[in-house]
């Protein structure tokens, strides 16, 4: 299947949270009791039953207020840190650009949760498995839009083939830049290129997003340096002792062992 | 019976074996998480979720064993503290022993200065083990109790894995010297019974032999 893209245009978002509800409806996730976090935000973070929610930031400039609203979910990175972190081969990529968790292989270790630069995957303690937005892969593979995109009334979530949506996204940025030079795309150049790309109207931190999300250096060190070097060290050690045994055999050190040990010990001198 | 001298007190032997058995269990159960291909081996203990829990239980015993071994006024604890002080005190004589490690390892011999209770090579092995253990224990508890993405947790992973793998490499060489090496494996009896051959003690730890071990001679 061709590479897909989901374009989230924050300039069209009204903060209605219907995407969060649609996600629950399609994915059989029960409603949860919410409480006000700040502004109109009612969800602090992802939970096993909430894979997408809207984050609200109020920005005041020149006595005017703007809501910086952001529908959050997994970005579905092309080069995902979560997948690199997983030792159990439970995370995989689809050709269409989605990052998915195989629940049968997942052991609940939380390596993915600790290494995603956006803190997306979490561990469902009850199930002892990682969870996150699936991108509605079941819908997408049947030719439907993801539930959140399907439901969004102002059309802030556009879904389609990458080749088709990307030019639309770029045209929209160009249009907004005429009045707001800060408008830009967020995601397409991060983590190998994300499937979910945002149009932001201000710097990423104004939305509570990291400016420079990357694969942690510690993760590269762990997987690309420590593992192979550790393997080499163990292999070298095993090879060295094998040679040690052979060389000792050849030198006759085993044959002479008893004799060497029995040789009387002349205490105090050699 | 050949003459023997007393080398390891019951306390020292106890700590050594607690450490050894716990290390092997932790390594085995840890490898189930680290190496995917190794995961089926976890079925001998009932599967990966069981071994993940064993890893944590043994980790606590391992930590307590280490701490208890060092505290108190008993002979064992005093010997453990002495071992610690001895091995971190690495001097020229120790270096002159350790530099010939490769030659001795492959069954050769080169004269070295008289050694104390722990020779240069043993001191290095001990120091690596102390450092590795401190790092693996600290990183292990961070991995256990920290949650959410944080630098602390992210760095704990490579440290834990590096210590596990490099200490496993060290262990292979340690097992060789203790069990398979035709000269140094005379020490093996010492870590089971406490007693080692007097001649071996004299040849390997001349300073210790003359200053302390000689007095314990039996046989
Ligand atoms: C107090 C000591 C220790 C604690 C608290 C501890 C804790 C942990 C924890 C929480 C994990 C994460 C895996 C999971 O969630 O199932 C882990 C992984 C691991 N542990 Fe330990 N551990 C300790 C000592 C050791 C020792 C001594 C070894 C080696 C001999 C070891 C080898 C490993 C390995 C190989 C992994 C997998 C690491 C990876 O995937 O890169 N651990 N440990
Ligand atoms: S956003 Fe995080 S969880 Fe989603 S694919 Fe990227 S690294 Fe993985
Ligand atoms: S929690 Fe599951 S998906 Fe995440 S790293 Fe561990 S095994 Fe992989
Ligand atoms: S793509 Fe599907 S699973 Fe992901 S947030 Fe939207 S509705 Fe939820």
* The token pair that represents A32 in the structure block: 């949860």
Interface of B with A in 126-155 (CB under 8 A): 146-151, 153-155
Interval A243-264 mean pLDDT: 86
A172, A191, A213 - which closes a domain:
A213
Q: Does residue A266 carry a pLDDT above 90?
A: no
Interval A39-61 mean pLDDT: 95
For the question of an ipTM over 0.85, the answer is: yes
Query: Distance (Å) from the C-alpha of residue B71 to the closest C-alpha of chain A?
Result: 33
Instruction: Give the domain ranges of chain B.
Output: 4-216
* The token pair that represents A261 in the structure block: 């040990």
| Percent of all residues in chain A with a pLDDT value above 90, rounded to a whole number | 90
Quick one: pLDDT band at residue A269, thresholds 50, 70, 90?
A: very low
A213, A232, A256 - which closes a domain:
A213
Is there a single domain that holds both residue A37 and residue A63? Answer: yes
Hey, whose CA ends up nearest to atom 2 of ligand 3?
A: A106
Taking CA atoms, what residue in A is nearest to B158?
A222
Is there a single domain that holds both residue A56 and residue A85? Answer: yes
**Distance separating alpha carbons of residues A187 and A200, to the nearest angstrom:** 10
Give tens-digit pLDDT for B167-204.
999 999 999 999 999 999 999 999 999 999 999 999 99
Give tens-digit pLDDT for A198-229.
999 999 999 999 999 999 999 999 999 999 99
CB contact under 8 A, A107 and B200: no
- For residue A64, the domain's CATH number is 3.30.70.20
* The token pair that represents B219 in the structure block: 């046989």
Query: Distance (Å) from the C-alpha of residue B166 to the closest C-alpha of chain A?
Result: 6
Is there a single domain that holds both residue A105 and residue A238? Answer: no
Query: Is A122 near ligand 2, meaning CB less than 6 Å away?
Result: no
User: Closest partner residue to A114 among B36, B153, B172, by Cβ?
Assistant: B153
Question: Hey, which CATH number is domain B4-216, 1.10.30.50, 3.40.50.720, 1.20.950.20, 1.10.12.10?
Answer: 1.20.950.20
Is there a single domain that holds both residue A240 and residue A225? Answer: yes
Query: Distance (Å) from the C-alpha of residue B54 to the closest C-alpha of chain A?
Result: 14
**Distance separating alpha carbons of residues B215 and B219, to the nearest angstrom:** 12
Query: Distance (Å) from the C-alpha of residue B70 to the closest C-alpha of chain A?
Result: 30
Query: Is A43 near ligand 4, meaning CB less than 6 Å away?
Result: no
Query: Is A91 near ligand 2, meaning CB less than 6 Å away?
Result: no
Is there a single domain that holds both residue A143 and residue A200? Answer: yes
Q: Which domain holds residue A110?
A: 4-213
All residues of chain A having their beta carbon less than 8 Å from the beta carbon of residue B153 are 114
Is there a single domain that holds both residue A236 and residue A145? Answer: no
Q: Does residue A74 carry a pLDDT above 90?
A: yes
Interface test with B, best of A233, A236, A259, A268 (most B CBs within 10 A): A233
Is there a single domain that holds both residue A75 and residue A167? Answer: yes
CB contact under 8 A, B176 and A221: no
- Domains of chain A: total: 2
**Distance separating alpha carbons of residues A56 and A66, to the nearest angstrom:** 10
List of residues 6+ apart from B76 with CB closer than 8 A? B9, B10, B11, B12, B14, B15, B69
Query: Is A134 near ligand 4, meaning CB less than 6 Å away?
Result: yes
Name the nearest CA neighbour of B105 among A106, A239, A77, A34: A239
Residue B145 CB neighbours (<10 A): 8
Give the distance (Å) from ligand 3 centre to CA of residue A221. 19
Give the distance (Å) from ligand 3 centre to CA of residue A230. 22
pLDDT of amino acid B72? 85
Q: Does residue B1 carry a pLDDT above 90?
A: no
Q: Which listed ligand is nearest to A115 at the C-alpha?
A: 2
pLDDT of amino acid A263? 65
Is there a single domain that holds both residue A181 and residue A262? Answer: no
A and B: number of Cβ contacts within 8 A: 124
Interval A184-207 mean pLDDT: 97
A172, A188, A213 - which closes a domain:
A213
Is there a single domain that holds both residue A117 and residue A151? Answer: yes
| Percent of all residues in chain B with a pLDDT value above 70, rounded to a whole number | 100
Quick one: pLDDT band at residue A267, thresholds 50, 70, 90?
A: very low
Quick one: pLDDT band at residue A62, thresholds 50, 70, 90?
A: confident
Look up residue A50 and give its DSSP letter: B
Buried b or exposed e, range A169-182, using 16+ CB within 10 angstroms: beebbeebeeeeee
Give tens-digit pLDDT for A144-176.
999 999 999 999 999 999 999 999 999 999 999
Give tens-digit pLDDT for B20-46.
999 999 999 999 999 999 999 999 999
pLDDT of amino acid A261? 74
Find the helix or strand (DSSP H, E) in which A261 lies.
helix A257-262
* The token pair that represents A146 in the structure block: 């993801």
Is there a single domain that holds both residue A21 and residue A115? Answer: yes
Displacement of CA A114 from its chain's centroid (Å) = 9
Stronger pLDDT, B9 or A258, i.e. the higher one = B9
Give the distance (Å) from ligand 4 centre to CA of residue A159. 12
Per DSSP, the three-state class of A90 is coil
Find the helix or strand (DSSP H, E) in which A198 lies.
strand A196-200
Is there a single domain that holds both residue A131 and residue A252? Answer: no
Is there a single domain that holds both residue A85 and residue A190? Answer: yes
User: Closest partner residue to B154 among A89, A114, A248, by Cβ?
Assistant: A114
**Distance separating alpha carbons of residues B83 and B69, to the nearest angstrom:** 12
User: Closest partner residue to B155 among A116, A218, A236, by Cβ?
Assistant: A218
User: Closest partner residue to B172 among A227, A237, A243, by Cβ?
Assistant: A237
Give tens-digit pLDDT for B110-148.
999 999 999 999 999 999 999 999 999 999 999 999 987
Ligand 3 binding pocket mutation candidate from A85, A106, A132, A219 (most atoms within 8 A of CB) = A106
Quick one: pLDDT band at residue B96, thresholds 50, 70, 90?
A: very high
Q: Does residue A270 carry a pLDDT above 80?
A: no
């Amino acid at each position: 299947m061709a590479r897909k893209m989901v374009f989230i245009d924050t300039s069209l978002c009204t903060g209605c949270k219907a995407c969060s509800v649609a996600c629950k409806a399609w994915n059989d996730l029960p409603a949860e009791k919410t409480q006000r976090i700040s502004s109109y935000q009612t969800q602090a973070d992802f939970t096993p039953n909430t894979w997408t929610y809207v984050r609200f930031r109020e920005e005041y400039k020149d006595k005017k207020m703007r809501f910086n609203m952001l529908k959050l979910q997994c970005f579905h990175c092309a080069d995902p840190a979560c997948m690199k972190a997983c030792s159990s081969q439970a995370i995989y990529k689809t050709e269409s650009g989605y990052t998915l968790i195989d629940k049968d292989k997942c052991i609940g270790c939380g390596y993915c949760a600790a290494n995603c630069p956006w803190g997306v995957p979490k561990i469902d303690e009850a199930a002892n498995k990682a969870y996150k937005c699936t991108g509605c892969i079941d819908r997408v593979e049947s030719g439907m839009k993801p539930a959140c995109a399907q439901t969004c009334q102002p059309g802030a979530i556009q879904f389609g083939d990458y080749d088709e949506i990307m030019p639309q996204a770029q045209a929209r940025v160009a249009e907004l830049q005429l009045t707001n030079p800060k408008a830009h795309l967020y995601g397409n150049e991060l983590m190998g290129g994300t499937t979910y790309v945002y149009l932001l109207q201000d710097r990423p931190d104004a939305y509570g997003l990291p400016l420079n999300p990357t694969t942690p250096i510690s993760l590269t060190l762990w997987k690309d340096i420590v593992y192979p070097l550790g393997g080499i060290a163990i292999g070298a050690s095993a090879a060295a002792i094998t040679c040690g045994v052979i060389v000792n055999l050849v030198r006759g050190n085993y044959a002479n062992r008893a004799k060497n040990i029995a040789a009387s010990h002349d205490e105090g001198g050699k | 019976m050949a003459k023997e001298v007393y080398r390891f007190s019951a306390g020292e032997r106890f700590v050594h074996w607690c450490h050894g058995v716990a290390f092997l269990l932790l390594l085995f159960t840890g490898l189930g998480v680290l190496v995917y291909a190794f995961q089926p081996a976890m079925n001998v203990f009932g599967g990966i979720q069981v071994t993940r829990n064993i890893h944590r239980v043994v980790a606590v015993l391992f930590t307590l064993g280490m701490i208890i071994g060092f505290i108190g006024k008993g002979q064992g604890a005093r010997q453990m503290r002495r071992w610690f002080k001895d091995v971190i005190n690495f001097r020229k004589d120790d270096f002159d022993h350790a530099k010939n490690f490769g030659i001795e390892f492959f069954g050769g011999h080169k004269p070295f200065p008289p050694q104390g209770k722990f020779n240069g090579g043993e001191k290095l092995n001990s120091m690596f083990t102390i450092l590795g253990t401190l790092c693996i224990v600290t990183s292990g508890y961070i991995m256990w109790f920290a949650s959410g993405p944080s630098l602390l947790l992210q760095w704990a992973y490579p440290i834990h894995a590096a210590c596990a793998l490099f200490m496993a490499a060290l262990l292979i060489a340690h097992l060789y010297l203790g069990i398979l090496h035709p000269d140094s494996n005379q020490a093996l009896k010492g870590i089971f019974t406490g007693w080692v051959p007097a001649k071996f003690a004299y040849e390997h730890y001349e300073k210790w032999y003359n200053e302390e071990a000689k007095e314990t001679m039996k046989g």
